[in-house]
Amino acid sequence: MKLESFWQATAPAFTGATPNPLPATAEVVVIGGGFTGMSAALNLARQGIDVVLLDAGEVMSQASARNGGHCNTGVAQNFTALVASVGIEQASRYYRAYASAVSYVNDLVERERIDCDFRYCGKLKLASKAAHFPALQATWDLMRRTVDPDIMLIGPDEIRQEIDSDAFHGGLVQQYGGQMHMGKFGIGLAQTAARYGAKIYPHHAVTALTRIAGHRYRVHTTQGEVTGEKVLLATGCSNVGPFPWFQRRIVPVGSFVVVTEPLPAALLHQLLPHDRTYVTSMNIGNYFRTTADHRLVFGGRARFAVSNPTSDSRSGAVLKAALSRLFPALSTVQIDYCWGGMVDMTADRLPHAGEHDGLFYSLGYSGHGTQMSVLMGQVMADALAEKAHDNPWQRDHWAAVPGYFGKPWFLPIAGWYYKAKDCFS
């Protein structure tokens, strides 16, 4: 079992890095070489804007290449709960933004001919307990009347037509979700940005930011300095580096994934005849999908812990046990890859994007960023270029997480709380 991301291990190498040294100035400096930053750099460079992108490590080495590989409509929160929180008008706007994000990814893949196995497959949310099905039914009724007339409810008596497991009691199918090879997409996105003229500098960790005036900042890195007329933070968890204001608003939470050996196509078709992306209804649940080479990608929270080799290995054992419970036919399969990554979780589990102290930012996708981050790169590029743009995540106020100063001391408590909820709900 390799303790590395399947997406990174099976993606081509990035060959578009710009040789040192850094230029003295740039119209825009983007900090972060994941989907948000690279999409912004691509869109800026296409407009002829001089853009420098900095990453502390290799491009596409963090959440953008360490996730479960889903590209779906729908926000992190249950839609019914989101309506109760923000109202039907705002919740509908958020949902449609996610639907637009999936379409944007597909359009980008087609326009730039990125080879990443993208396909529409639909998303099935599975009721892990019989008591969870009425909530899915209520969500189905609300969504089909408001934001998604094509959503399908799968009853308890029909769920075996969707998934060959005794573990589920119905489900909800959102038809326009998709999936892709995240590593191939990420490297393809980076190569495209470089082709359009973005200057990309891996291994340039940002060590300090000095505001000069307005939006103008001097960006200090481990390999020199560059002054940006404008700066975009696309730093995910932002838990490393000179970003204290953002660190109080984003909690890094570990999520973990395993990938099986290649499996017989007939077995996968028997288990998952419609070959969708899947997520269970438990608070500490699982998400899974297949790959183009007939593996099963199976992830989940597993443990409320940070990602490191020891934690990843322990979490892999938890995931393997869960996989065997859901699919006994896979209890003896070999796990080829196991890894973890940090989710940039916000208190409301929604992204935040805008401007603070002259810095532009788009952060906090809360585990649902593979599509929205790409769209937000384009949205923030328009903002930086002073073009009209529709930013669904611009809000007047972003409060700090109470009692949080960058170290998530409360994660074990949160783990116990959600385990208790899963036991009694």
Residue 115 lies in a domain: yes
CB–CB of 250/353 below 8 Å? Answer: no
H/E stretch holding 26 reads strand 25-31
Task: Work out the percent of the chain whose per-residue pLDDT is above 70.
Answer: 96
Scored b (16 or more CB within 10 A) or e, 6-41 reads: bbbebbeebebbeeeebeeebebbbbbbbbbbbbbb
Q: How many domains does the chain have?
A: 1
The pLDDT mean for the chain works out to 94
Residue 421 has pLDDT above 80, yes or no: no
Segment 109-120 mean pLDDT: 98
Chain center to CA of 250 = 14
Segment 313-326 mean pLDDT: 93
pLDDT tens digits, 270-282? 999 999 999 999 9
Task: For residues 404 and 407, give the distance between their C-alpha atoms in angstroms, rounded to a whole number.
Answer: 7
Residue 422 lies in a domain: no
| pLDDT band, residue 116 (cuts 50/70/90) | very high
Q: DSSP character for 334?
A: P
Q: What are phi and psi of 407, to 5 degrees?
A: -110, 115
Q: Rounded to whole angstroms, what are the CA distances from 124 to 49, 139, 279, 349? A: 41, 13, 6, 20
Residue 334 has pLDDT above 80, yes or no: yes
101-105, 351-355, 368-372, 405-409: least confident range: 405-409
pLDDT tens digits, 121-177? 999 999 999 999 999 999 999 999 999 999 999 999 999 999 999 999 999 999 999
Task: For residues 85 and 306, give the distance between their C-alpha atoms in angstroms, rounded to a whole number.
Answer: 29
Position 311 scores a pLDDT of 80
CB–CB of 113/189 below 8 Å? Answer: no
Cα R_g (the chain), whole angstroms? 21
Residue 420 lies in a domain: no
| pLDDT band, residue 417 (cuts 50/70/90) | low
Q: State the helix-helix crossing angle for 88-112 and 133-146, rounded to 10 degrees.
A: 80
CB–CB of 398/249 below 8 Å? Answer: yes
Residue 186 has pLDDT above 90, yes or no: yes
Segment 347-352 mean pLDDT: 94
Residue 305 has pLDDT above 70, yes or no: no
| pLDDT band, residue 31 (cuts 50/70/90) | very high
- Is the pTM higher than 0.85? The answer reads yes
Domain region containing 354: 6-414
Residue 1 lies in a domain: no
H-only helix segments in 113-181: 133-146
Segment 280-294 mean pLDDT: 94
Enter the tokens of residue 154: 């799968």
H/E stretch holding 326 reads helix 309-326
Residue 185 lies in a domain: yes
Position 48 scores a pLDDT of 98
Position 312 scores a pLDDT of 83
pLDDT tens digits, 216-267? 999 999 999 999 999 999 999 999 999 999 999 999 988 899 999 999 999 9
- Beta-carbon contacts of 135 under 8 Å, excluding residues fewer than 6 positions away, are 78, 80, 281
Position 135 scores a pLDDT of 95
Position 283 scores a pLDDT of 80
Residue 231 lies in a domain: yes
Task: Work out the percent of the chain whose per-residue pLDDT is above 90.
Answer: 85
Q: Rounded to whole angstroms, what are the CA distances from 210 to 50, 152, 241, 356? A: 20, 52, 13, 14
Residue 409 lies in a domain: yes
314: region left, alpha or beta (phi > 0 left; psi from -120 to 50 alpha): alpha
Task: For residues 350 and 94, give the distance between their C-alpha atoms in angstroms, rounded to a whole number.
Answer: 9
SS3 state at 420: helix
Residue 381 has pLDDT above 90, yes or no: yes
Position 416 scores a pLDDT of 65
CATH assignment at residue 278: 3.50.50.60
- Range among 44-58, 339-353, 397-411 with highest mean pLDDT value: 44-58
Residue 182 lies in a domain: yes
